[in-house]
Structure 1
């Protein structure tokens, strides 16, 4: 069938039959959807690996990670503030559901956004999600009860962030091939910067202008960053109507992909535990409440160097190999964190933990993209991210429940660190299944 024939078929299935109607197609779709053959012939040439448009896509995605993961990774400051002020009578493990819901919903909507992106629906959903996260941030300032915070900060902010992140990292993957590891790691430098700025700003602003105006300042910052990202982010390849629905079960016939998905769920069960509770645990060993807020900022500052170095290393030895090394260190420091006896030890552990944790978040999409065709990458990445979201939503509350039951953080550290290390073992199994040998660049 010719390209025009396929385009007509697609338009008819969407209720656009007349020539005049076709001129007014929804701006959801960036371009005409070509046939799969034409896509392969004209668009799957070597990625430019540079140029103004490519680096603007990296910059825009860095602004997105600043606005999403940068804010979400600062959850520890909200956890501590809510425990000590706004939600004094609510158990810490219950409060943690707000943060874990945020983490999970960054991933869960990816099942829909990945498929929509492959079909060409990108611009308007992206703009709408940007408006949602800005609006929800302003609404947090008006909340006084747990259920209000859960709906706005947990569900609303989480879903909004989830509709932004997955399409952005696929766009960067379209622009880069040989330098993809570096490009993806540079996008997450934005998350590291946000994870530094938001905790430090909160620590200084809450005491001077109060919690409500501090959150409003965050909202104004997001208006600027997300507005800029909407201007500069654009895809390189046109959409294509790849066969299959929202959830492509055939992808799981690839045992390497299936194992990789399971490893992601297990790793997420423990990945965010330390960042969630490190501020609270700092106070229990004698660190001042004023300085405890800075512990998260210190860890996230270290993650900036870890993200860039892991990207450079990934281009040399492979993304999965790099993730395995760095994430093993993350698991070890998650266990070690609970044994810190003073401020100096806690800072040292936070620096090492922050340096290592950024590699997984920076690179986890790269192996998924490499496990199939580029035209289906959005859906494949979306399925992976949606699945690991279940680990993200369950992990911090489980750790909180263990901490409450045991009267300390040691048990939670063993649980979270053990999950991470076991997940790394599954990463190595996925590498073997993909390469058919014990070692190789992947």
Structure 2
């Protein structure tokens, strides 16, 4: 075959030739075709609009998703304190923490599968099914009375289904935004902060008025409205592309920066959720009233609203990794300072600064992961990072609780977060010159 004929042959994909020969692929044939035909990206895979009604409605949808998922998960500190004093008073705090840790971790673990599914085009149906289970879990939690029931419903069921939605929702923003990606991601991430502020405050007000059961039912109705709206507005812009490989793309780990970044994610989540889990409990121990201790979580999560927005604006200016280093280091410092708080005012100040700084990592990790490879494989790459980070999320609070019981402090969590900040700095150094935007 001549070079000219060969170039014409290669430029004419099999996926276009077959329909002209009278053959149309059925749904059952798709998997087989994908194994033999490498789909090339469509011309419009780049050039995100960076705005427009459809793009901003997607941001609103992701905002509602994070409100309903991370918002509920970040409320765990309130439930930890309530269960210790009431429903599960005969269960150790470390064991109770496993419910919240499972919930935290499972927000991340399913991303390994859902990220790959997103790249292949499976998006709307999994999100809808998971939304239904999340709503049902809220109503079922109201009926739980024993540890294993809370662990199964509030820990495993709610956590897994939150994870099915979160990963693809974070990636879909990158379909619509490029130059303003940090801003769009941070605006969406504010939903987690708002949810993390609304749910604890609502729980504090409603439990004494209408009881735990009806409080959880009210949460269920809120989730019905927010997730219902989100499912209507969520929409991808780019067509699915089958990048060869399974759920786990080992080629991504040829990038040393991505490897370091993933390790930093594990360590960061190993320490970041410790303060959110135990700060209400520590508030009561230093003399803060139980009624106000519930609001400490709301204050921290409310402050993270400004941290997420600020980190997004900074990320577009100086780079996502540069911003994450600064905000993660601040979180580590505040975790070291937390045990030294001796009164309500000091604890509020620490919770405010901690909430502000911890929001930066959560708001930008998907932006950094997307930037470390091609857009066609972004879902799988973000999914791998989130699944690895989930190991830190599930182990962090129970380990810190056990260490605190033995040593009387949480210094280990602060040290781990500072080490994670150092690894983030190393990852950005591997990607660009020290003072470059990264």
Partner Cα separation in structure 2 for residue 3 and residue 89 of structure 1: 69
What residue in structure 2 maps to residue 373 of structure 1? 374
Q: How does 1:342-353 map to 2 (within 5 A)?
A: 342-353=343-354
Query: Is the Cα–Cα contact under 8 Å of residues 273 and 395 in structure 1 kept in the other structure?
Result: yes
**Which residues in structure 2 correspond to 1:9-88 (within 5 Å)?**
19=24, 22=26, 25=27, 38-40=40-42, 42-88=43-89
The equivalent of 2:422 in structure 1 is 425
> Considering only aligned residues, what root-mean-square deviation do their CA atoms show, in Å?
2.1
Mapped partners of 2:296, 2:16: distance in 1 = 55
Structure 1 position 3, deviation (Å): 7.4
2:385 counterpart residue number: 384
Q: CA offsets, 1:97-147, max 9 Å, x none? A: 000111100111000000000000111111111011111111111110101
The 8 Å contact of residues 72 and 195 in structure 2, kept in 1 or not, is answered as yes
Unaligned runs of 5+ residues in structure 2 are 1-9
Deviation at 1:44, TM superposition (A): 2.3
2:15 alignment partner, one of 6, 18, 22: 6
The answer to whether the 8 A contact 2:40-2:241 is kept is no
Once residues 17 and 131 of structure 2 are traced to their aligned partners in structure 1, the CA distance between those partners, rounded to angstroms, is 32
How has the CA–CA distance of structure 1 residues 159 and 18 changed in structure 2, closer, same or farther, with 3 Å as cutoff? farther
The 8 Å contact of residues 3 and 38 in structure 1, kept in 2 or not, is answered as no
Q: Quick one: distance in 1 between partners of 2:17 and 2:98?
A: 47
Report matched runs for 1:297-336 at 5 Å.
297-336=298-337
- Report deviation, 1:38: 4.5
Q: Distance in 2 between matches of 1:353 and 1:82?
A: 24
CA distance 1:7–1:340, change in 2 (3 Å): farther
* TM-score between the two structures when normalised by the length of structure 1: 0.92
- 2:102 maps to which residue? 101
Partner residue, 1:13? none
Tell me the TM-score normalised to structure 2 length.
0.93
- Structure 1 residue 7 displacement after superposition: 7.4
**1:235-258 CA-partner distances (Å, limit 9, x unpaired):** 010001111111111110111111
2:435 paired residue number: 439
The aligned counterpart of 1:193 is 194
| In structure 2, C-alpha distance between the alignment counterparts of 1:194 and 1:271, rounded to whole Å | 18
Shift of 1:432: 1.3
Contact 1:111 1:246 in 2 (8 A): yes
